[in-house]
């Protein structure tokens, strides 16, 4: 059985320590092992990054961008291989894996604009013979901790921009599906990245804590669950680090009486059940304004959910694959049990699904609950599985209050033809990413991604313009060259124009 190694100083290395099994969720079998980094291994990666940083910081941004241009080309050339690795270890369909990679490549494209992104600002003659400018300088060694559900895209949210800004980066990907992440990092070295600028270390909490506690690590980016996001934010900022920690979600879609229902249903099917619901932007609650809308929605959703094509992610032409682990499957089944016990109406039951030829896979079918109420666990908590809950309300105001009262504020959307309703929703909803007739309002790479409330800890969102600011420090410089043979008296008042 092969072992997924660390990538330190441009080389694959094995430390011979603890390992964890990596499963193919479609067949329910361990197919690889992955090394788990000790604190000593993390320190090796930090030392490598620290040694490589000074030369990279002084490399012109245009030359850093050239590496990213070559990296983008290699990602596109190896799309099939990357999608295969994602599907083998995560379980998502090949088509979904390819789509994930394409969204990641968008961020590499944005990073290619480094000379423009890092230009700074300049003002001449802010005072007599005085010029001022601001410069955006790299932090040094920075790190990212990424989740299992997007092993290609989320790391690509982080290190291309951090690196093109002049930093050295340490990536700790999920140990559940590490192979695609490691392969992509190797492609970046093939594109000409100097050794030590990107290091990949696999591990669990020991590795995370080592990165948090290391004084050489100046910033931490994280995407994952809210409890861990809050922990990393608290522990990192306590040590003076810059932290952006993206947490969980409970994303609502509001359906107004004037919504184009067929289009809304198609959108909800993909947003709720795509990637088996293992997305932080998945729609998991449909808020119907009026019983007539709810009844019509249920009638259209039920047959489509029952007709979902579910199987091994590496097969073609499927709608949905398995959940990532047996524990994830059991957790989702537990939520379905709980919703039924709490009194929600189970319209479509995904429990007990068996896929022919893949009977040991971690499968749960598409599940639909109606008449869910805000006091139920299936409404309050992030299930992270193929479960859609329908909540009935009487007005848009009631729907908005429901959303604003929730602890999460990651993403939301409204389906309507009414511009006034859409504008009110966009203005007043307390959520960081909003869609109007768009079910998954994930910003493109030249905007920034992030929620509100307990979906984000930190002041700056991921990638885009906020990403540039996160991975750089502003330095303000004021410069004066006195005229020759001139003498000025001392000035004791605070200087002003």
Q: Which residues are catalytic?
A: 280
First to last CA, the chain: 72
Report the alpha-carbon distance of residue 429 to residue 445 in Å, rounded: 23
DSSP 8-state class, residue 253:
E
Report the alpha-carbon distance of residue 310 to residue 385 in Å, rounded: 14
123: Cα separation from own chain's centroid: 37
Report the alpha-carbon distance of residue 293 to residue 392 in Å, rounded: 9
Neighbour count for residue 352 (Cβ, 10 Å) = 9
Report the alpha-carbon distance of residue 470 to residue 262 in Å, rounded: 41
Neighbour count for residue 152 (Cβ, 10 Å) = 28
Instruction: Specify whether the CB–CB gap between 286 and 390 falls below 8 A.
Output: yes
Kindly list the strands in the beta sheet with 6-8, ordered across the sheet, starting from the edge strand earlier in the chain: 11-13, 6-8, 198-200, 168-172, 141-145, 217-223, 242-246, 456-457
Beta bridge partners of 23: 30
Residue 274, CA atoms < 13 Å, CB-side half-sphere: 20
User: Helices (DSSP H) in 221-260: which residue ranges?
Assistant: 226-238
Neighbour count for residue 390 (Cβ, 10 Å) = 24
Instruction: Specify whether the CB–CB gap between 146 and 96 falls below 8 A.
Output: no
- With the CA atoms of 226, 230, 233 and 235 taken in that order, what torsion angle do they form, in degrees rounded to the nearest 10? -140
Report the alpha-carbon distance of residue 104 to residue 101 in Å, rounded: 5
Neighbour count for residue 300 (Cβ, 10 Å) = 17
Largest CA distance in the chain: 91
Report the alpha-carbon distance of residue 125 to residue 420 in Å, rounded: 47
Report the alpha-carbon distance of residue 143 to residue 191 in Å, rounded: 21
Cα angle, residue 374 at apex, residues 372 and 379 outer, rounded to 5°: 65
Report the alpha-carbon distance of residue 173 to residue 458 in Å, rounded: 21
Structure tokens at 305: 């959910």
Report the alpha-carbon distance of residue 337 to residue 391 in Å, rounded: 18
């Amino acid at each position: 059985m092969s072992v997924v190694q660390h990538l330190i100083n441009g080389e694959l290395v094995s430390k011979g320590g603890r390992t964890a099994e990596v499963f193919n969720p479609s067949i329910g079998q361990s197919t690889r092992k992955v090394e788990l980094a000790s604190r000593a291994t993390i320190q090796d990666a930090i030392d490598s990054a620290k040694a490589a940083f000074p030369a990279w910081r002084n490399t012109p941004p245009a030359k850093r961008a050239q590496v990213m241009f070559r990296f983008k080309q290699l990602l596109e050339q190896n799309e099939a291989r990357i999608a295969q690795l994602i599907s083998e270890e995560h379980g998502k369909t090949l088509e979904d894996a390819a789509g994930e990679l394409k969204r990641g490549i968008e961020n590499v494209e944005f990073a290619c604009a480094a000379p423009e992104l890092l230009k700074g600002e300049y003002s001449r003659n802010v005072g007599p013979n005085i010029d001022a400018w601001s410069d955006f300088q790299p932090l040094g060694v920075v790190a990212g901790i990424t989740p299992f559900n997007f092993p290609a895209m989320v790391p690509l949210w982080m290190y291309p921009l951090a690196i093109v800004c002049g930093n050295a980066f340490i990536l700790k990907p999920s140990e559940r599906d590490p192979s695609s992440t490691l392969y992509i990092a190797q492609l970046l070295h093939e594109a000409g990245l100097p050794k030590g600028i990107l290091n990949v270390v696999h591990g669990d909490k020991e590795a995370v804590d080592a990165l948090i506690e290391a004084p050489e690590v100046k910033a931490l980016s994280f995407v994952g669950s809210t409890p861990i996001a809050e922990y990393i934010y608290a522990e990192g900022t306590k040590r003076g680090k810059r932290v952006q920690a993206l947490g969980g979600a409970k994303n609502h879609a509001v359906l107004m009486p004037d919504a184009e229902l067929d289009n809304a249903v198609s959108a909800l099917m993909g947003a709720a059940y795509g990637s088996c619901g293992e997305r932080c932007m998945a729609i998991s609650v449909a808020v119907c304004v009026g019983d007539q809308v709810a009844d019509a929605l249920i009638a259209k959703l039920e047959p489509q959910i029952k007709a979902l094509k579910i199987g091994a992610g590496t097969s073609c032409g499927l709608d949905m694959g398995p959940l990532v682990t047996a524990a994830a499957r059991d957790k989702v089944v537990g939520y379905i049990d709980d919703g039924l016990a709490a009194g929600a109406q189970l319209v479509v039951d995904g429990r007990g699904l068996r896929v022919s030829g893949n009977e040991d896979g971690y499968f749960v079918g598409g599940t639909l609950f109606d008449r869910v109420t805000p006091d139920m666990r299936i409404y309050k908590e992030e299930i992270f599985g193929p479960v859609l809950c329908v909540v009935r309300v009487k007005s848009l105001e009631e729907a908005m209050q429901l959303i604003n009262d929730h602890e999460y504020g990651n993403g939301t959307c409204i389906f309507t033809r009414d511009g006034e309703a859409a504008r009110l929703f966009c203005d007043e909803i307390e959520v960081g990413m909003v869609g109007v007739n768009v079910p998954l309002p994930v910003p493109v790479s030249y905007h920034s991604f992030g929620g509100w409330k307990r979906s984000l800890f930190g002041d700056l969102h991921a990638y885009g313009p906020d990403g540039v600011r996160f991975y750089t420090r502003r330095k303000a410089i004021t410069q004066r060259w006195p005229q020759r043979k001139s003498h000025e008296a001392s000035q004791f008042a605070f200087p002003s124009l």
